[in-house]
Structures are given as C-alpha cells and as structure tokens.
C-alpha cells in the first residue's frame, strides 16, 4: 500500500520522492502528496517528476491565477472591501496589517518551497537514470532549473533573505538547512539556474502540446527581469552591468517573437479563450482545460459580480473581483483597455467596478464556471515595457520611448510625445520613469505584476511616500496609514521563525 506525506511548513524543503504522474501534462495526482516508495528508474519516471513540478504551479497557493492575494492585493490595484474579508486574514494583505501568523501567507510559502523540493528531487536523482537520448536528459534538467529559479525569484522579492536549498533533503538534513540566506546569494543561484537552463536544447518558443513548458524565450525574459530587479533593488555597485545584462536578455526574448509589430495582435485577442493556443504574444502560461472540473480556470467566475454575465455563465451573489478607485482613476480618458478590463456593476449590493479581463461565458465552461482561460505568466507587452524601463535607466531615452509607444499605439492611445501635450498626463507622469510605470499598470492590470513593478521603481522610503500620497477615499476601508517601511517585505511565517529564531530571524517591523 502506498504511503503519502503531506507537505507542510519546513517539510516543504523535504522531498523523499516525487508523485507518480500520468503522462498527460495536465492530468496529475494531488500536487501536495508525496509517495515515499517511488523511485527513478526510467526516462518516463523523470518526465512524470518534471510534470509534477509544473503541476505544483497550479495550486491556488502558488503563482497561478489565484495568487493575486500576495501580489495585486498588496499593491494599489485591487483589495477587499466587505465585512467577511474585513473580519478575516485575507484583508490583512491590502490593509498592510499582516501578521506572521497569517495562514494564507504560510500556505504561499509552503507551496513555493514544495515546488522547489520537487525540482530538487529531479535534479538530485536524474543521474541515476540511463537515457538513450542525452538531449532528453538535458531538457528535463533545464526545465527543473528554470522552475526552481522562478520560485526563488518570487521568494526573494517577497521575503528578502530566505532558506536556499538546492538538493533533495533527508529528514536529518532539514535542521541544518533551516536558515535564511542573504539575498545576494539567492540571486546568484537564480542567475546560475537560469543560465544553465538557457544552455540547453529547449525551443525558442513552445507550441502545440508544449504550451505551458519552459522555452528559451521564457528563460531569457525571466533573466532580463532578474537582472533589472537586481539593478534597481540590490547593490548599486553593479548597477550598470546588471542593466546591460537585463537589456541583452530581454532583447534575446524579444527577437525570437513570431510576429512583426505588436499592433498585429489586438489587445483583446491576448485574453481570448478561443485563441490562447495560437496567440503569438504569449510566451509562457499555465494551461487550463475548459469544462474540466479539475484542470479548468475559475478566474472568470470568481471575478463575476452580482447581476452581471460578461465573465461567465455562473450566477454570482458577490461583488466579484474588486478594483480600487485608485486604479480606475489612473486610466486615461478613452483607453480601450479600461473598457475591456473592468466594468461597473450596478447591482445595489455592488455599485462598484469589477474585473472583466479574463472571460469565458461560453457553453463549454457551463454555468459551473469551468473556464478555459490560461494563466499568462509572461507575454511580449511585458517584455517590451521592461525594455523601455531598462533603456530609460541606461540613458537611452529615444529607445525607451520607442518601446513605450509600441504598447500605447497597439492599445489605441496617443504616442508619448503627443500625450505630453495633454496637461493631465504631463502632470500625473512628469518623467519617463513614471510614464512607463503607469503604462505597465494599465497594460498588465490584474496579471500580478504591479507589486513587483513598484518594488523595482521605488526605494523603500520612496514607496512609503508613494502610498502615503494617495487618497484614502480611493482605498475603501483598507488603511493606507498602516503602510510603513516594514511592508517592503512580508513577515517570515511564525511557525518558520519559531524553528530557529536566530537563523530564521524575523523581518524588521514584525513581532
């Protein structure tokens, strides 16, 4: 009889083996269960284990469509403004009153480390398997390292210093590995993993049955973002080198695109369920199956507001995906992206905007809300705007404006030079850095980038001033006054801190 162990707390670092998975990329067993008597005997076992790493991303506690709690709700884009949320732990994220004991925060930490442990199991055991095709082995190693790097990139930006484990652990190994490693060393490992993954036989872009898997475009885009983040948040002695590296890797991702101008891809098409498998703007996504109770998307139904049917055939009784007035007021007049991304719900219990960017009101999704939306992790507009960002930092103003205009013109908005003639635009975005930040906000709204964009754009003190300058009326009952320097990072989950208060030291400002 097989035995299962459920990953929890620091045990997420511990993986004795991987779950036995079906060959289908989506149809996996419980990603939170580890079967102790599995072993690596053949290439198909390795493939199942690699599929298990991808499968863990699907958890509602990981980086997929339901990860807005740790990202968008932490920013100025979305929040919670109802009594149920106000009374519970989710409200703490947008209210900047989060406690180390928050169980949602702990679940996110555990899920990410669970994904890392799966990658470590693959990398620690793959050499014991004989491959008739060495290229196949190289591919699996590259995928595992890419996914491990992505997880550590999320961790280091959210918590700063974090435990860094790159091998399969036994129970006896866990105590010695339960300590926070400095950010710089975590970034070194992220870069090393991504460069190793890039030096592989992975395709430039995935298509067909490969959708959802790692590609060189995804790795290059991630490396570019990593170097850009290092340049803006880490040791400034290496700022110029990191910025140039960021530009080179972002360009490498951009140059393998399969389309010409961004204007050839209508904005709405990027999120069209019927076009998701062929849309050339999408670089990396989590693939969902329309109509499948287990592997479908729930985001369209979850965002639906009472009295509305634009997102889903599901009849909602709630307020849907809440949007802050602060974001609504940041859209420029006549920006088509606003009309596509949000809608005002007139129902008496709502009377507010809700998210409409992710829709599947087709019969295939049914009135149960089993949507077919893929969750987009990386797309080309994101890469283009990061190229604008890095070009601006490097002093290439013309290049930065050119990239910015690619996105604005595709959206049907005036180019940057024309926009500066608009007194409101020029006043709200007095420099190119703020204009790019604004463009990322409205272009990538609700795609879980905003919080990380703010961390790159502002120092900690600047970020505090940025939030303090906003109107409390545009944030409902969440208290902007709570925001302080402590909110640059999340608290270390209390149970993790208690394992070793000295080596798992708490972030400043949290008790």
| Predicted local distance difference test score (pLDDT) of residue 171 | 87
Rounded to whole angstroms, the Cα distance separating 487 from 465 reads 12
Question: How sure is the predictor about 26, in pLDDT bands with cuts at 50, 70 and 90?
Answer: low
388 closest CA partner among 425, 427, 434 = 434
Average pLDDT, the chain: 93
Q: What's the mean pLDDT in 356-383?
A: 98
Q: Is the Cβ–Cβ distance between 100 and 501 less than 8 Å?
A: no
Q: Is the Cβ–Cβ distance between 136 and 49 less than 8 Å?
A: no
Same domain, 34 and 165: yes
Residue 131 lies in a domain: yes
Question: How sure is the predictor about 86, in pLDDT bands with cuts at 50, 70 and 90?
Answer: low
pLDDT digits (tens, 9 = 90+) for 415-436: 999 999 999 999 999 999 999 9
How many helices and strands (H and E) does the chain possess? 20, 6
Rounded to whole angstroms, the Cα distance separating 271 from 274 reads 9
Please spell the DSSP secondary structure of 59-80, one letter per residue: STTTTSTTGGGGTGGGTTS---
Backbone angles phi, psi at 371, to 5 degrees: -75, 165
Q: Would you call 318 exposed, middle or buried from its count of C-beta atoms within 10 A (0-12, 13-18, 19+)? A: middle
| Predicted local distance difference test score (pLDDT) of residue 1 | 32
SS3 per residue for 95-160: HCCCCCCCHHHHHHHHHHHHHHHHHHHHHHHHHHCCCCCHHHHHHHHHHHHHHHHHHHHHHHHHHC
Rounded to whole angstroms, the Cα distance separating 331 from 408 reads 12
Residue 87 lies in a domain: yes
C-alpha 434: how far from chain center: 22
Residue 478 lies in a domain: no
Contacts of 258 (CB under 8 A, 6+ apart): 205, 280
Q: pLDDT: is 134 or 13 the higher one? A: 134
Rounded to whole angstroms, the Cα distance separating 29 from 18 reads 11
pLDDT digits (tens, 9 = 90+) for 209-256: 999 999 999 999 999 999 999 999 998 899 999 999 999 999 999 999
State how far the alpha carbon of 305 is from the alpha carbons of 66, 297, 445, 476, in Å.
Answer: 17, 17, 18, 18
| Predicted local distance difference test score (pLDDT) of residue 5 | 33
pLDDT digits (tens, 9 = 90+) for 315-369: 999 999 999 999 999 999 999 999 999 999 999 999 999 999 999 999 999 999 9
Residue 152: pLDDT above 50? yes
Coil, strand, or helix at residue 212? coil
Helix, strand and coil percent figures for the chain, each rounded to 5: 50, 5, 45
| Predicted local distance difference test score (pLDDT) of residue 27 | 53
Residue 195 lies in a domain: yes
| Predicted local distance difference test score (pLDDT) of residue 11 | 55
Domain boundary at 340, 373, 406, which? 373
Entry pTM: 0.93
Rounded to whole angstroms, the Cα distance separating 308 from 289 reads 24
Residue 15: pLDDT above 70? no
Residue 98 lies in a domain: yes
Query: Which tokens belong to 403?
Result: 């990239």
Q: Is the Cβ–Cβ distance between 231 and 393 less than 8 Å?
A: yes
Q: Is the Cβ–Cβ distance between 290 and 371 less than 8 Å?
A: yes
Question: How sure is the predictor about 7, in pLDDT bands with cuts at 50, 70 and 90?
Answer: very low
| Predicted local distance difference test score (pLDDT) of residue 12 | 63
| Predicted local distance difference test score (pLDDT) of residue 87 | 74
Query: Which tokens belong to 134?
Result: 């060495």
Q: Is the Cβ–Cβ distance between 232 and 456 less than 8 Å?
A: yes
Residue 32: pLDDT above 50? no
Query: Which tokens belong to 299?
Result: 């985001």
Q: What's the mean pLDDT in 131-144?
A: 97
Q: pLDDT: is 182 or 36 the higher one? A: 182
Residue 169 lies in a domain: yes
Same domain, 195 and 296: no
| Predicted local distance difference test score (pLDDT) of residue 81 | 81
Residue 279: pLDDT above 70? yes
Residue 219 lies in a domain: no
Domain of residue 462, residue span: 1-202+458-470+488-511
Same domain, 48 and 190: yes
Q: What angle do CA 279, 285, 288 make, to 5 degrees?
A: 95
Same domain, 87 and 194: yes
Q: What's the mean pLDDT in 155-183?
A: 95
Q: pLDDT: is 309 or 170 the higher one? A: 309
| Predicted local distance difference test score (pLDDT) of residue 24 | 54
Residue 387 lies in a domain: no
State how far the alpha carbon of 11 is from the alpha carbons of 171, 360, 409, in Å.
Answer: 8, 38, 49
Domain boundary at 327, 346, 373, which? 373
Question: How sure is the predictor about 88, in pLDDT bands with cuts at 50, 70 and 90?
Answer: confident
Domain boundary at 373, 394, 414, which? 373
Same domain, 20 and 146: yes
């Amino acid at each position: 009889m097989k035995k299962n162990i459920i990953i929890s707390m620091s045990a997420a670092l511990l993986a004795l083996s991987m779950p036995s998975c079906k060959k289908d990329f989506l149809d996996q067993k419980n990603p939170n269960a580890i079967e102790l008597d599995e072993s690596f005997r053949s290439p198909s076992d390795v493939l199942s284990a690699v599929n298990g790493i991808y499968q863990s991303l699907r958890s509602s506690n990981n980086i997929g469509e339901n990860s807005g709690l740790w990202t968008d709700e932490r920013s100025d884009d979305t929040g919670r403004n109802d009594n149920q949320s106000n009374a519970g732990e989710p409200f703490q994220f947008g209210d900047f009153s989060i406690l180390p004991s928050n169980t949602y925060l702990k679940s996110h930490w555990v899920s990410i480390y669970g994904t890392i442990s799966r990658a470590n199991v693959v990398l620690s055991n793959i050499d014991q398997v004989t491959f008739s095709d060495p290229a196949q082995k190289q591919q699996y190693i590259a995928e595992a390292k890419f996914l491990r790097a992505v997880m550590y990139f999320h961790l280091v930006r959210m918590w700063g210093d974090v435990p860094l484990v790159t091998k399969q652990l036994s129970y006896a190994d866990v105590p010695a590995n339960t300590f926070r490693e400095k950010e710089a060393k975590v970034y070194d490992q992220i870069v090393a993993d991504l460069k190793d993954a890039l030096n592989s036989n992975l395709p430039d872009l995935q298509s067909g049955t490969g959708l959802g898997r790692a590609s060189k475009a995804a790795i290059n885009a991630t490396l570019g973002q990593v170097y850009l983040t290092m340049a803006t948040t880490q040791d400034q002695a290496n700022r110029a080198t990191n910025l140039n590296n960021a530009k080179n890797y972002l360009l490498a991702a951009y140059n393998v695109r399969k389309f010409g101008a961004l204007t050839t891809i209508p904005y709405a098409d990027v999120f069209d369920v019927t076009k998701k498998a062929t849309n050339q703007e999408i670089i990396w996504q989590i693939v969902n199956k329309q109509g499948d109770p287990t592997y479908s998307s729930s985001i369209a139904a979850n965002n639906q507001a009472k009295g509305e049917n634009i997102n889903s055939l599901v009849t909602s009784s709630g307020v849907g995906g809440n949007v802050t007035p602060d974001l609504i007021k940041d859209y420029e007049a006549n920006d088509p992206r606003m009309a596509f991304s949000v809608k005002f719900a007139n129902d008496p219990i709502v009377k507010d905007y809700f998210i409409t960017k992710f829709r599947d009101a087709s019969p295939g999704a049914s009135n149960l809300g089993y949507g077919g939306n893929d969750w987009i992790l990386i797309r080309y507009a994101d890469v283009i705007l990061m190229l604008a960002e890095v070009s601006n930092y490097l002093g290439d103003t013309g290049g930065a404006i050119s990239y910015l205009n690619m996105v604005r013109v595709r959206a049907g908005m005036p180019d940057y030079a024309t926009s500066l003639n608009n007194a409101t635009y020029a006043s709200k975005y007095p420099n190119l850095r703020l204009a790019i930040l604004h463009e990322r906000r409205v272009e990538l709204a609700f795609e879980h980038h905003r919080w990380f964009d703010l961390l790159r754009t502002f120092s900690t003190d600047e970020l505090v001033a940025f939030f303090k300058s906003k109107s409390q009326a545009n944030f409902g009952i969440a208290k902007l006054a709570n925001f302080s320097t402590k909110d640059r990072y999340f608290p270390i989950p209390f149970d993790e801190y208690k394992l070793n208060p000295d080596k798992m030291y708490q972030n400043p400002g949290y008790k």
